Amino acid sequence: MTAASTPSLGYLSDVETKVDLLNNEAIARTIVRLIREKSEHPISVGVHGDWGAGKSSVLEMIEDALSEDKSFLCLKFNGWQFQGFEDAKIALIEGVILGLIEKRSLWSKASDEVREALRSVDKLKLAKKAGTLAFTAMTGVPAFGLGDLLGSAVEWVKDTVTDKDAREAALKEIEELKKEEDGEDDKPKGRIEKGYSVPKEIGDFRKSFKKLIAKAGIERLVVLVDDLDRCLPATAIETLEAIRLFVFLDKTAFIVGADEGMIEYAVRKHFPDMPETQASHGYARAYLEKLLQVPFRIPALGETETHIYVTLLLVGATLGEKAPEFEALMTLGRNALSKPWDTEVFTSEAVKTALGAKFDQASVAILTADQISPVLSAGTKGNPRQVKRFLNALTLRLAVARERNFGDAIGQTQLAKLMLAELFLPETVFSYIAMTAANARDGICPELAEIEAFADGGGETRSQAGPGGNEPPGDGVTGSAVAEWKLRPDVIRWAKVKPALGTTSLRPYLFVIKDRKNFVSGSAPLSEKLRRLVAMLGAGEMAARGAAADVRTLSPVEISDVFKELKARVIAANPLDQKPDAFHGVALLATEHPGLQGQYVEMLNDLPADKLGFWAATGHQMVREDRAKERLRAVLTRWSTCSNTRLARAATTALAPPRRAGRGT
């Protein structure tokens, strides 16, 4: 079916949801049971997983499960929302206190306790503010009278802060603090009394918080902290430090959703002087483990689970999540996800039975899920958000094709397969396919037919001649490309995906996907003359030299077309530890036509440094234009510090100034 005749797959929302398509409700139920069983003792739980694994949805399910029980109070905090606007540590502390007061109507029931708690929060605010202004050179805020320090803070700022504007701003804020300390602000909150100390105020805060909990009449305060791994390191650490104030208080539970790798990174940034050793990495993990007592990790989806998830997403978008038939499919999906090793649960027949009369309406969605799930699972590494992003990109491109009136030329499943290659195969593989198809008169990449036949037939490959009678290039590039692809499991897995594209003109699809990269540029396929020239230029050093006279006669448009074709072959070449044959042709073009020098250097920059031999750093004498020379030097400088030692040594040598001959030589 074409895009024009296919119903839209619909947009898939990426916000957290209470509808569980991943069977993560089991994790949520386990955490809820853990909270209920230990209702008196404090507990902190980490819900870990990669970006997009479903952590926010698990927190949503926990809140939903506890919402009907009045003896539990759930509060949500998102540090990312406060980032850049307010101190994260104070925002969380104040958010918890105000949330508790508001949700349990404590303004009237416990006015004294409320006033005491808010006064403690305000004192912590002032301590934080003062520490930022004048005491950053010390270890935290000093544990003695803050009022006595404000006077000396003025002298400290005058003697230490050299920038005039910064000094005046700091003195102004210290003066405001002094006014609050001296009682000029008639509001009772924020007053700092003599003998103030941070440990005492933290202790007082804990006491006032316990009183609020008692007045609220709840068994457990549950605080759900989300999106911590989206925060900048400083914000993430401040939020964790605020949690530490509560974490040992009875009747509290903190559930923190975060990618532990990102939090460990934040800890290392917070302690920049730690040496880069195994022990320092262990410290970062220990910091998190000390704070979060019970870790739950959301596993990545396997291939079977990805297939079920994609099917549920697409069918839900097609029928609507409220449709009874979709709810029946959801039940089937959950049963299958509870035992993903059993492939006989979520079968085609079972899906058809669950959907009943709506099966035909959902058939395109089901077919798409069946075809793309294996490669999508591997390409996204089982990440639900990446799966949704792919499906939304597919939907958007199909919609644009319809609006541009070439939807009849686009098949939904064909576009999906091409996008799998675009997003999840090595760039060199997809670029080769796209460039070959763009430059072919019939828009066909013959190598595709060969690799698809190899994937389907266990090694039996077709002739390299395309169905339109195209002869394969005479430089051996086709054979080397397919030989490389046959060694890559990811390419073989993709080639097995149906439908086959080896006999399909890809030119319409290249127009659809040019929002990321334009392979077609509106140019015509290479003429027979240029195809013969490309074959010569790509056949090695001697053949390229023999084509120099023909290269000099090319028009600017022909030069550009030939360069693009040879560049695609260089990028797709494998292995790259030896100079590709097509590289000699590119170098000749840049020599004979100096206007290509910049593009020549950019091609070098695009090559994968970890796979290059020392040849890549040498032989660039034709680069004489100033801007191109400067760019070449930047590329060589980057290579000189790369992990590829052979390339790094060659680049270092190339960067060294030439030795001057000594006298008498």
Alpha-carbon distance of 111 to 130, in angstroms, equals 28
Q: Return the pLDDT at 326.
A: 93
Give me the residues paired with residue 255 across strands: 45, 224
Q: Return the pLDDT at 126.
A: 66
Q: Return the pLDDT at 418.
A: 93
- pLDDT at residue 190 tops 50: no
Q: Return the pLDDT at 10.
A: 62
Q: Return the pLDDT at 50.
A: 85
257: nearest Cα among 281, 232, 231: 231
| Among the ranges given (155-169, 236-250, 627-641), the one the predictor scored with the smallest mean pLDDT | 155-169
Q: Give residues with Cβ within 8 angstroms of 276, minimum separation 6.
A: none
Q: Band of the pLDDT at 471, cuts 50, 70, 90? A: very low
Q: Return the pLDDT at 310.
A: 92
Q: Return the pLDDT at 554.
A: 85
Mean pLDDT over residues 454-481, rounded? 51
- pLDDT at residue 204 tops 70: yes
For residues 614 and 515, the model is more confident at 614
Alpha-carbon distance of 200 to 198, in angstroms, equals 5
- Greatest mean pLDDT among 13-17, 53-57, 250-254, 325-329: 325-329
Mean pLDDT over residues 223-246, rounded? 85
For residues 108 and 360, the model is more confident at 360
339 phi and psi angles, rounded to 5 deg: -145, 70
Average pLDDT, rounded, for the chain: 79
- Greatest mean pLDDT among 22-36, 139-153, 646-660: 22-36
Q: Return the pLDDT at 18.
A: 59
Q: What percent of the chain has pLDDT over 70?
A: 76
Q: Return the pLDDT at 152.
A: 46
Q: Band of the pLDDT at 53, cuts 50, 70, 90? A: confident
Whether the CB-CB separation of 578 and 480 falls below 8 Å is answered with no
249: nearest Cα among 208, 295, 206, 205: 206
Q: Return the pLDDT at 273.
A: 72
- pLDDT at residue 100 tops 50: yes
Q: Give residues with Cβ within 8 angstroms of 140, minimum separation 6.
A: 131, 198
Q: Return the pLDDT at 277.
A: 61
Alpha-carbon distance of 141 to 146, in angstroms, equals 9
Q: Which pLDDT tens digit goes with each residue over 255-269?
A: 999 888 888 888 888
Number of helices (H) and strands (E) in the chain: give both, helices first: 31, 5
Instruction: Answer yes or no: CATH 3.40.50.12190 is held by domain 25-104+217-296.
Output: yes
Q: Band of the pLDDT at 176, cuts 50, 70, 90? A: low
- pLDDT at residue 575 tops 90: no
For residues 35 and 16, the model is more confident at 35
| Among the ranges given (138-152, 184-198, 257-271, 386-400), the one the predictor scored with the smallest mean pLDDT | 138-152
Q: Helix, strand or coil for residue 296? A: strand
- pLDDT at residue 4 tops 90: no
Q: Band of the pLDDT at 517, cuts 50, 70, 90? A: low
- pLDDT at residue 183 tops 60: no
Mean pLDDT over residues 488-502, rounded? 91
For residues 465 and 662, the model is more confident at 662
Question: Would the pTM of this model clear 0.95, i.e. be above it?
Answer: no
- pLDDT at residue 555 tops 70: yes
| Among the ranges given (99-108, 144-153, 248-257), the one the predictor scored with the smallest mean pLDDT | 144-153
Q: Band of the pLDDT at 101, cuts 50, 70, 90? A: confident
- pLDDT at residue 475 tops 50: no
For residues 510 and 153, the model is more confident at 510
Q: Return the pLDDT at 132.
A: 46
- pLDDT at residue 38 tops 90: no
Alpha-carbon distance of 250 to 40, in angstroms, equals 6
The token pair that represents 467 in the structure block: 């169905």
Kind and range of the H or E run holding 255: strand 252-258
Q: Return the pLDDT at 476.
A: 37
Mean pLDDT over residues 2-12, rounded? 58
| Among the ranges given (171-180, 257-266, 351-360), the one the predictor scored with the smallest mean pLDDT | 171-180
Q: Return the pLDDT at 466.
A: 39
Q: Band of the pLDDT at 478, cuts 50, 70, 90? A: very low
- pLDDT at residue 45 tops 90: yes
